Structure 1
């Protein structure tokens, strides 16, 4: 099992936070009673939900104990340790029938579902926990064919590393049209779109710093200590070649994001 480092994750907090802000801006809820953030991470973005709906009970759920500990210190947020799959199924009557006992008026999941294999099949259960008239909003990365991911996959598959990295957790997601179709078929009103951000990063090996806090972290943690430094050095070198710095030391990281905001009539 890999663990998450809140400090490393928050290195580029502004860039990681912008999609969340733009996602939440499209939610039309007025005065929700319960707002849930699935995959809340360190809670720094969940705090924005408290500011948006100060009268609501705001709950942050994350499977990382390190992240939940950090989120628990965020004012106005009730932080819970939990798995997204378990949360989706929790509170239903025996046999999986009926509506859950506790419903969310607003359910947000930002940059989390890509870590849940088969999450497309989980969507009916997730949105089933949203109250009538409620809102569901999700955002996932859509950049898995960019060098930041393909380099990691190719390097991890090399003979020196493959036996350690085989089957390790890796993110994946679908395009906006796929999510739109699934939710429309469930009777929801759906707004779906995609955006490619051009993040201008600075510092030493900034793309490595970015990916080592998210998509590459499980792969790197799967390696034994004697192999990890060599893997990291080669990973850094290949990323530097793929994302070359300009004369001022700036690196541009294109990052495609997929957004969905849906309303239950």
Structure 2
């Protein structure tokens, strides 16, 4: 959910669905029991809905709504996941912009997975979201913490090159896209929550040719691909240079390509 509204490709995003879902499962494992017998849950930035569906596994009676501003992602989510859940709950999806979304009713859980890094100033929204959580309820999120990693640094360097600067210099996020874990802890405790904040670096072992490029094509590279959509030659030139740089930064091993990926987690629970 970028200011630049990159075009999203659900099929490309889901090519690494297993690796992308693991941090969400690790986040949910730290969410405590919810106060409602039939919890009301919001998933901010639900994407194609594959991880939103995990919420129904954890809370079978919940009414869960996934929010996103990508029509392509929402269409995929609706087709694959919308409707009654086996435990008697419901899963639905609706358009919304996380930059302005505010809960219209009390929620037991507001959760966001790998979305808030696209929202400039997202910590300023925490007060509204925590206010929309019931006593004893939880606000929880996970964001990438890898903006200084070669995958992102090399992307920015190519975008800032002299011949691309005018078109691409401002489309990519920088290291300040997310806060340090300590800063998130301070923000959330300052709102009266009991906060659990941590970070994890996953070492994903990716298969296939140029798998790191394939990964970022589904997420971080989307603003560049969108900006160059009308100039196939410039797009291919960028990808050729970026591919070569990634091969050097992430050399393939005998069993695949190791891809370290740092993520930051926060679980903030209101006093009951």
Q: TM-score, normalised by structure 1?
A: 0.92
1:159 alignment partner, SS class = coil
Matched-pair contact (CA < 8 Å) for 1:243–1:253: yes
Distance 1:204 1:32 in 2: 46
1:26 and 2:40 equivalent?
Answer: no
Are the counterparts in 2 of residues 170 and 218 from structure 1 also a CA contact under 8 Å? no
- Segments of structure 2 that go 5 or more residues without pairing to the other structure are 83-89
In structure 1, the residue matched to 2:78 is 72
Please say if 1:230 is aligned against 2:237: yes
1:173 corresponds to 2:178:
yes
Deviation at 1:29, TM superposition (A): 2.3
Residues 1:241 and 2:248 aligned together: yes
Q: Deviations over 1:78-134 (max 9, x none)?
A: 10111012213x64xxxxxxxxxx121111001000000011222112222212221
Aligned residues: 253
Partner of 1:85, secondary structure, is coil
1:135 CA displacement: 0.7
RMSD after superposition:
1.3
Question: Given the alignment of the two structures, is residue 114 of structure 1 paired with residue 117 of structure 2, yes or no?
Answer: yes
Distance in 2 between the 1:259 and 1:43 partners?
A: 20
Greater mean deviation of Cα atoms: 77-86 or 217-226: 217-226
Q: Distance in 1 between matches of 2:262 and 2:69?
A: 25
Matched, 1:162 2:168: no
Structure 1 residues without counterparts, runs of 5 or longer: 92-101
* 1:182 maps onto 2:196 in alignment: no
Alignment of 1:1-265 (within 5 A): 1-30=5-34, 31-73=37-79, 74-75=81-82, 76-88=90-102, 91=104, 102-170=105-173, 172-223=177-228, 224-248=231-255, 250-265=256-271
